[in-house]
Amino acid sequence: MLHPQQFVPRPGAPDATEAVVGGYAFSATLAIQDITGLATSGVTASHIAKRLEPSAESEAILFGLSSAQAPRPVTDLGYPELFPGDPVDAWLFVSLPLLEDLGVVEANLTLDAEIAPLPGEPLPEAPWHSALSLLDDLSARLERPARQLWVTHACGAPEPPYVRAFGYRPAFREDQATFSVDAVSALPRTGAAAFDVVSGPGFAAPRTAPPGELAQFSRLLTAASADYPRGELVMDTIEWDLERIVDAGERLNDRGGAQLTGLAYAGGEIVGLCEAVHYSSDDPAVCELGLVYVLPAFRGRGIGAGLLRATLERAREVWDDLETVYCSSPADSSAAAALLTALGAEVVSSTTAWQRV
């Protein structure tokens, strides 16, 4: 049985934060690179450190699961504190939504690089048992009954140990894929909508917006939150307004991200959007697709494909070194599958959300 120790970032001890977060980021990067086989997969320590900073949207907590026990100060949550140099067998990164989903605990388990199995070897069972026990304990302490464990794995990989025994069931799966940015030339242009691509989720670039655009954009984001495939996941609808949009842009900028937002117009109204994000700390040849969404009444007209093409053509102009696009999509979405096929995309991994309520 492994014992949970909570990392507490301290502004006056940046070296400690760098050591602990760096160890977690290294293990997380190694794990995803083993799954995808891509050197550009991974996460940076700076990105994790930003996630651990206080936010109005969510609280992030990093736990180390260790086979060693020693006297330690106890954190506000009641767990022994994790210090640099403490032996860690596995990491549990926990996210607590603060605006919606107040009954949910989200988590991701990463085996430390020192004990991670080689590709094809079975997963060690002790970290999974300990992580699921910790999630049960957090759920009770925080009075958040819905537990969601997000597991990234190779396509067709066996289920992780203990999840079903602890009462978890697969609630949702998304697939991650990559494609060349040049492949967007294979997508058709469409006359069913007009397209514009602007900077930032908060429309950071100076431009003259049509009357009522903000209200339309807010309604579109709220509709996407309500309508986007989520399987059986317990998730509340996000009600978007100007303050929420501006806050999202500020958080992205603070994490070194830059976003382009493609907008599709039909009949003078915004009917679709496409997000592309580029992080300064990542490989300059890579960007990520975020939300791609078209209102149900306007689907089947090629608007999604045209919007994706317009957004990524602009991304290629703005980010000079861009070569590869990463994207995630619901595994059971026929529309997403058709787009990925047209782009010649390669599915490199899957992520399954295991849920217990």
- Has residue 326 been placed in a domain? yes
Check: CB of residue 190 under 8 Å from CB of residue 302.
yes
Whether residues 30 and 60 fall in one domain = yes
Pairing of strands 3-7, 58-66: antiparallel
Q: Please report, in tens digits, the pLDDT of each residue of the chain (357 residues total).
A: 899 999 999 888 888 899 999 999 999 999 999 999 999 999 999 989 989 998 888 999 999 999 888 888 999 999 999 999 999 999 999 999 999 999 999 999 999 998 888 777 888 899 999 999 999 999 999 999 999 999 999 998 999 999 999 999 999 999 999 999 999 999 998 888 999 999 877 665 566 667 788 899 999 999 999 998 999 999 999 999 988 888 888 888 888 899 999 999 998 899 999 999 999 888 999 999 999 999 999 999 999 999 999 999 999 999 999 999 999 999 989 989 999 999 999 999 999 999 999
Whether residues 129 and 223 fall in one domain = no
Range of the domain at 243: 179-348
DSSP 157: P
Domain-terminating residue out of 118, 145, 167: 167
Indicate the pTM of the whole model.
Answer: 0.93
Residue 267 is part of a domain; what is its CATH number?
A: 3.40.630.30
The CA-atom distances, in angstroms, between 12 and each of 24, 46, 81, 89, 97 are: 20, 17, 16, 27, 27
Domain-terminating residue out of 125, 142, 167: 167
Whether residues 20 and 141 fall in one domain = yes
CB count within 10 Å of CB 137 equals 14
Could you tell me which of 134, 140, 51, 20 has the C-alpha nearest to residue 149? 134
Whether residues 305 and 163 fall in one domain = no
Whether residues 9 and 137 fall in one domain = yes
CB count within 10 Å of CB 50 equals 18
CA 270 to chain centre: 25
